[in-house]
Structure 1
């Protein structure tokens, strides 16, 4: 699913070629099919080089040979010609350590300066397709803080896959059918009639937010009491139609202000109206994965490793949400032929993941084509107090409130600062703090400082004398820059956008360390030019990183 030619892969290739040669020369007595997966790691201590493999220890048991001797034979037969490997050493029981020539760093810096905003982007001739579905809130009220975190995660994951060489579709699944819409209509009707002076009881489990009252009043202001005397079903239908249009428009606008623009808005209602749910259940019947019992239709979940069978069509003939979700994902993965579907869901959907994957298997679709990011809860804090919120009680702290309070950049960066599967406290005070304690300020300030340096020097960058960049802080900054593409690949593989925010922090930190240790403007013209090139390369990569995060890269602060 994921792949790119990296320095690690170059080392893997060198080691594997050497092992094959050792097997041919009977220096390692195993079959070539028994060569283990070669894992490349970064040693904790600099003295052990840039990369390390423990392959000799992995081979020792099968080859019935001392791992140190195996390591010596592997090293002896590694051909480093036309590679960046400068030195190979053996440590401990048989760790093989690789030190690279600094030329690879200088070559990488030249690429950055040449490619600019394209640096780090992987271009595939025939890109795989990825659909990322996120937020997908019920359109029964404004977007809340959970939606804000899901939006930041999903949008950055989409950007990561775009940079990793995939053709990406950003999708919003509109939950405009089912029980929540029935409840929404009942709530709107009660508020509508109450606004017209009728003494009607509000549904016990209705939506109690002020937005429901406002929508009912808005309808009256625009159309008067024209729905007062129509039958209940028509009244609810008209009110829901009106309110959904208003709510979805507000949601789209709030998401745009948050930096999110979708390619597809998919209506759950279309699955019911088009017969897609019936079609997919008929398909499952053909494949023998459903049965009828007690006037309901059931999925044979236990045949696919689930704890119990699941209802698809209720006794009253109404499809379950599960059935609609199966039809929706079948539409994506089969009808639209998308290679991979990624969903960002709340942690409360944990039990639904296996159910949906097994339903896909029952339909002949590999479960590996469906990825799910489970997102934990967010608590808003201000000072020492938690900011309470309740959708039903009407005192919800909305996405638009958050953007107004801290801005799009801080919200998107901080929501992606931790792994999606971790609980988090969003500190409203920290998010607007102009200090290094605030991670987004720290990174943006580094970019602004770099831009200031470049403006002050006001010289054209020259691709020469990069070998003068040999100080510890310079080389460390170059190494962080060169890791950019690898971090994108890792983030896409792990479905973890926090790797990109962490990378942004590491790059800003490496720059600050370099800047605090060395002057850029020096008397030595060659060194000045080399350091200017380093600063420019840092700016390009930092700007590209912030672009993936959907965060602005200010030139002044």
Structure 2
């Protein structure tokens, strides 16, 4: 990655590999021995050093001796020149711990100053083409909390992947075909006929939300009673086309207010109209993966480790949603995506293995398809669960959430936990202007730094440059802790991208804000001796840059005033 922590790690890895080579005869290793994969990582407990390695443990089998004995041999042959390692120790079953010269962290300030907003950006992804498909809500109603969590997760994952050097495409799959669209047409028709006094009920399996009444009102304002006497098929087609266009426009507008924009809006209907679904089924049939049973066409999912086979064409000749979904995922790989990522709700869990099996049947690498399963969201207000029911139209919408707590709190709260964990969203906490609200706490740290910089500007003083400042004056524990955490950011961001885990960045930025608040509450920045003031200005400005960048990856603003 080229950043300080990665460079230090790489130096220690090289020294360890050289030490194994130098220890080869003593450890009875064969000539030309290839060192197996090992880790050099930052210990969770910093008392165990700045880095620790399991190298001695992975050499136990080839060296045929206890790992502590191997570790002792490696340490005796270590050449650590240029690594900034000050001390080495052996701990536990044979871990080797490295303690760096405490001054190493000062180098991070020059790095942040040099890279600015690009500090932490890497090429881990190597330009690999990645598609992130998320939300993809049925355009039959308003966006709800599950959609909202999916939007925050998907967009943050896409941002992290782009920051880590992947070529990312954000995509929304429009479910504008199939049974749910038929139900939407029938529901709109019922509301349309009701508006003209006819006693018609919305189908039980239809959509009962109040928003459809408003859609029909707007349709009538445009077309009047023109479709009242029209054939039912013509009336439903006109209503559903109008409804879909309106719902999609509303979804797009809401998501943009949530800070989410897409590169591609892909229509399910286009797969049917273009013949892609039929072509995909024909290809599966040619490869021997389809068979007929009781008048329906089935995919041999069981051949790919799935519990049971799956219908792809019903006995009435109509393709299932699964058939269209197979064609859609084939289309993704045919467009050249090397890593296809879907954000799906927990109710789609059983669909994952079937889809991977279908991709394998078509000749694609099933491991190139990765599905992030997202658990449910529970909303709380006043300590009570806010009940949601999409069918009755009584669920809390994303629009309502944005009106109540705003984009920043919503975006942050949705990514504070891993996708596979249930999320309790406390509406009262999200609105609180206090340190208990993590969003307020983080943004307040940024605003405090911005206030310091405004005071500096009011004095007519420019921000000093790191190379002109004696950074060794930053000796306090609070300063060093802040420096150490700033150095972690490049690896935190890269790992969060690879793990598809934006909650790692949410934890990181909250921790960084906490370290800044601790420093700020204990020490003055302005008004101390000028050399120390300059060093602390460099430190707080670096913290501002990283706070802003980390928040941006999560789609959260970094305000200069609170």
Fold-level match, TM-score > 0.5?
yes
Q: Contact between 1:143 and 1:251, CA under 8 Å: does it hold in 2?
A: yes
Query: How far apart, CA to CA, are the structure 2 residues paired with 1:419 and 1:124?
Result: 22
Aligned to 1:546: 551
User: Which has the larger displacement, 203-212 or 236-245?
Assistant: 203-212
Check 1:5–1:360 CA distance in 2 against 1; reply closer, same or farther (3 A cut). Answer: farther
Counterpart of 2:465 in structure 1 is 462
Q: Aligned residue for 1:535?
A: 540
Q: How far apart, CA to CA, are the structure 2 residues paired with 1:256 and 1:61?
A: 56
Q: Distance in 1 between matches of 2:50 and 2:479?
A: 16
State the SS of the aligned residue for 2:172: strand
- Aligned 1:411-430 pairs, distance under 5 A: 411-430=410-429
- C-alpha distance in 2 between matches for 1:99 and 1:114: 26
Deviations 1:153-174 (A, max 9, x none): 1111111001111111111111
Distance change (3 Å), C-alpha of 1:123 and 1:95: closer
How many angstroms does 1:450 deviate by?
A: 0.9
Deviations 1:294-341 (A, max 9, x none): 3322221121111111111122221111111111111111x2111111
Alignment of 1:492-507 (within 5 A): 492-507=497-512
Q: Could you say which residue in structure 2 is the equivalent of 1:362?
A: 361
Q: Is the 8 A contact 1:292 1:298 kept in 2?
A: yes
User: Which runs of 5 or more residues in structure 1 are unaligned?
Assistant: none
Secondary structure of 1:483's counterpart equals helix
What's 2:198 paired with? 198
Shift of 1:472: 1.6
2-structure distance, mates of 1:82, 1:292 = 69
Q: 4-13 or 183-192: which moved more?
A: 4-13
In 1: Cα distance, 2:44 partner to 2:189 partner: 65
SS of corresponding position for 1:171 = strand
Q: Aligned partners of 1:378, 1:9: CA distance in 2, in Å?
A: 41
Partner of 2:180: 180
Q: Mean alpha-carbon deviation: is it higher for 219-228 or for 114-123? A: 114-123
Question: Aligned-pair distance for 1:5?
Answer: 5.0
The whole-number CA distance in structure 2 between the counterparts of 1:382 and 1:186 is 35
Q: Distance in 1 between matches of 2:31 and 2:424?
A: 53
Deviations 1:117-160 (A, max 9, x none): 11111247951111111111000011111111111111111110
Aligned mates of 1:291, 1:427 — CA distance in 2:
50
Q: C-alpha displacement at 1:192, in angstroms?
A: 0.7
Listed as ranges, the gaps of 5+ residues in structure 2 are none
TM-score relative to the length of structure 1? 0.95
Deviation at 1:45, TM superposition (A): 4.1
Contact 1:124–1:166 under 8 Å retained in 2: yes
Deviation at 1:44, TM superposition (A): 4.5
Residue 317 (structure 1) aligns with: 317
| Corresponding residue number in structure 2 for 1:17 | 18
Q: How does 1:277-426 map to 2 (within 5 A)?
A: 277-333=277-333, 335-426=334-425
* Matched residue SS, 2:215: helix
Question: Which stretch shows the higher mean deviation, 72-81 or 180-189?
Answer: 72-81
Which SS does the other structure have where 1:235 is aligned?
A: helix
Distance 1:229 1:485 in 2: 65
Preserved contact between residue 356 and residue 369 of structure 2 (Cα < 8 Å): yes
Deviation per residue, 1:419-465 (Å, 9 max, x gap): 11111121111111011100000000000001112222333222231
Instruction: Tell me how many residue pairs correspond in the alignment.
Output: 553
The answer for the alignment partner of 2:434 in structure 1 is: 435
Output the aligned Cα RMSD: 2.0
Q: Structure 1 CA distance, aligned partners of 2:31 and 2:252?
A: 59
Conservation of the 8 A alpha-carbon contact between 1:194 and 1:200: yes
